[in-house]
A and B are shown apart, each in its own frame.
Chain A
Amino acid sequence: MFIEFASAARFRPLRQGIAAIALAVSAGLFAGCGRDEVTVYEAPKDVPPPRATTGTDPHTHAQTDPHQGMAMPATLKWETPAGWQAQPAGGMRLANYLVPAGSQTGQVSVVVLPQVVGRDLEVLNIFRERLRVPPLEPDQLNGLAQQIPIGSEAGHVYDMSGEGEGDAADRLLVAVLQDGQASYYFNFFGPTGLVEAEKPNFLALLKSVTQAAESSAATPPAMPPPASPMAAASAPTDGRPRWTVPEGWRETPPTQMLLARFEAGDDNGKAEITVSMFPGDVGGTVANVNRWRGQIGLAPWSEAEVTQAMTTLEVEGGSAMVVEMFNDQPGSGKRLVGVIWPRGTHTWFYKMVGADAVVTREKAALIQFVQSVRHSNA
């Protein structure tokens, strides 16, 4: 880099002084920039975007008091069918209605999920819990969707039935509208006869949907700049550690909350294995064990019972806790084996739940699986 320099001169105080000043200026530059501190400023109040002017007296489902605070990407408005009774809404629900018909009642709700797009399977399976039917598999989803206009946009609707016979069986219609920043779910739940009778009103409501943009604060924050195709292709798999998947386990798409999901067993009985990780202790061991007990229909344990049921498992860099539970009630027969692994500032959960025989058979595989886990920075 330094060629053809003159021979080194004697150091002079002036030159040393210049070097010292350069050093001091550099240090000051670093020290003075990028410091986070509390600031006070005055700013004009936010100006809401103009309202849409369509419709004469529509029911605008803006941020009224019950759900004041939820950051919806946009507010919609629609015309409520005659006879439907508006109920308080809150959280991510834009609206709730009771749909009375004789001695029966149906329920309509409008739910918005900001920044959730293209996750119909996971969301529908949450809604389907009301029908008390098994979750949908990915390949079942496409056949279920029917195109439908929602306002001036193209949406789709899922028509699902639950337990029961004929008109008394539960039925759930879920219409979905997506705009790239959020998904809007219009749910109609009730007895089949009622839902069928009120379906034209439900479709009319969907057709009347228009925008009623309400508040700039509702806009979800813009995403950071997109990655280059190369970066996207080499992206990590959601912070998973390395592990060895036991033979016979099949990996299935994880839901939003999970790092990984597997399935074991066959048509005679299945078990699901999930891996999740959260900051902190997530409510503590007792709370998590009792949450698992609730998932298979068991009553909560006391702290002493939880402690007694726990066994220790040696894992990479420390130990984890293993707990097993079984619901022997007729109609259940579910067994659950869970591993709680506090690791640094986070807690990892490995859970296997399913048919008794499968979980009993696969328990050793789960233990081996957890012990095979290696975290990248270890």
Chain B
Amino acid sequence: MLSSLFQFFTSLKLTVVCLGLATLLVFVGTIAQVEQGLYQAQDRYFRSFFVYWSPGGADWGIPVFPGGYLIGGLLTLNLIANYVRRYKFNRANLGLLTVHLGLVLLLMGQLFTDLLSTESAINLQLGETKNYSEDFFASELVVADTTDPDTARVVSIPTTLLPTTPTVRLPQKPFELQVRQFWPNAELLENAGEGTVASGATDGVGRTLWVQGRPPTVKMDERNVPAATVTLSDAGKPLGTWLVSGLLRPQSFAHEGRSYEIALRPKRHYTPYSLTLLDLRHDVYPGTDIPKNFSSRVRIDNPSSGENREVLIFMNNPLRYQGLTYYQYQMAARGPVKSSTLQVVRNPSWLTPYLACLLVGAGLTWQFLAHLIGFLKQRSA
């Protein structure tokens, strides 16, 4: 059994099939971005084990093609298994070994980037301080105990769980949360209109609002704003039903002498330090409206290291700090509220492509020189 499995993974036919499938997948996945948008197409074709096809309108799918993870994983295993089976170490083969190590590192690095990297943004109004950034895509439903004057104890439920988890027992809270309705993308209106439904909320600002579900957007310059109506209860006794949405501020309520807030917001990534926006500039070329430069002057305050310094972030000059990279991203420098948005990227494996390229380059150089020297020796002999 183990022997036949090993034989399968060391098959060179598997290599050829995987490379062929990868070529096809890249082509189809690239074309699909036209209709599905970059991120949805990436998730569907490349960040998956299988590509699924759903009959019109169905919420289930049939796997019709191997996804990027499956093909990439098989190729990596195939490469490693072949080395384990076939490779004999000698000086002549050292270059090839290095080249293939570089390829493995490249494949693994991409996998780690997919699995471990996060992209978020921190939006700062002038003078504002924050110690968190907000995810571009993921949202969270939070119930926070805000009784303490300085800190909040937060229970965070990813919105991905809401459609499939109608009832959530909140850890360390007396509440049970029941999801009554969930919209992946919705607008809130003050009046009933085309396609609106009453929110059904009995508490909070949502009592007077109407919800208009909208098709989830795949556009690159839009984001989905989810909404939900949720009921909190304590030992089966309902405390109220709230409408929560990315368009609403946190809503407060009290229970048994403690203060709470409930909100649906972009998922937060907290940092042990804070950034304060001190100044922002939108420079244009003289006599025109053509942007020349966008820059934000921020102060880093890190209580754990005692660091307190100013940094200027501008186009192509990001701030790299504690594993995060802050890029100048968006700016509202002309409105009544001046604010700057920095894109925050965490990619623990950002060095792997560089190391992989170095390995491949070194391996090819070694292999070339080995052949060249051998050739020259043979010629002079």
Q: Chain A 14-44 against B: per-residue CB contact (8 Å), 1 yes, 0 no?
A: 0110111011001001100110111111111
State which of B146, B187, B335 has its C-beta within 8 Å of the C-beta of A45: B146
> Which residues B312-326 have CB closer than 8 A to chain A?
none
Does A67 belong to the interface (CB within 8 Å)? yes
Do A278 and B336 contact each other (CB < 8 Å), given the known contacts A50-B128, A69-B248?
A: no
A257 to B131 Cα, complex, angstroms: 36
> Which residues B77-135 have CB closer than 8 A to chain A?
77, 79-82, 84-88, 92-93, 96, 111, 115-116, 119, 121, 123-132, 134
Does B328 belong to the interface (CB within 8 Å)? no
Cβ–Cβ contact B125 & A216, under 8 A: yes
Known: A217-B263, A225-B220, A282-B213. 6 other contacts (CB 8 A): A8-B86, A42-B151, A45-B151, A90-B190, A179-B335, A181-B332
Contacts of A232 in B (CB 8 A): 220-221
State which of B85, B115, B161, B247 has its C-beta within 8 Å of the C-beta of A15: B85
A214 → B minimal CB distance (Å): 10
A41 to B168 Cα, complex, angstroms: 17
Cβ–Cβ contact A11 & B85, under 8 A: yes
Contacts of B265 in A (CB 8 A): 217, 221
Does B68 belong to the interface (CB within 8 Å)? no
B135 → A minimal CB distance (Å): 9
Cβ–Cβ contact B3 & A11, under 8 A: yes
Contacts of B193 in A (CB 8 A): 257
Please report the total number of A residues contacting B with Cβ < 8 Å.
102
Does A322 belong to the interface (CB within 8 Å)? no
Contacts of A91 in B (CB 8 A): 190, 205, 208-209
State which of A36, A178, A224, A283 has its C-beta within 8 Å of the C-beta of B335: A178
Does B152 belong to the interface (CB within 8 Å)? yes
Cβ–Cβ contact B35 & A4, under 8 A: no
Closest A-chain residue to B79, C-beta based? A1
A73 to B152 Cα, complex, angstroms: 23
Closest A-chain residue to B35, C-beta based? A236
Does B349 belong to the interface (CB within 8 Å)? no
State which of A45, A236, A256, A346 has its C-beta within 8 Å of the C-beta of B57: A346
Does A110 belong to the interface (CB within 8 Å)? no
A16 to B5 Cα, complex, angstroms: 9
State which of B38, B56, B195, B218 has its C-beta within 8 Å of the C-beta of A317: B56
Q: Which stretch (B20-28, B292-300, B337-345) binds chain A?
A: B337-345
Cβ–Cβ contact B329 & A6, under 8 A: no
Closest A-chain residue to B99, C-beta based? A1
A19 to B6 Cα, complex, angstroms: 7
A226 to B341 Cα, complex, angstroms: 13
Cβ–Cβ contact A18 & B84, under 8 A: yes
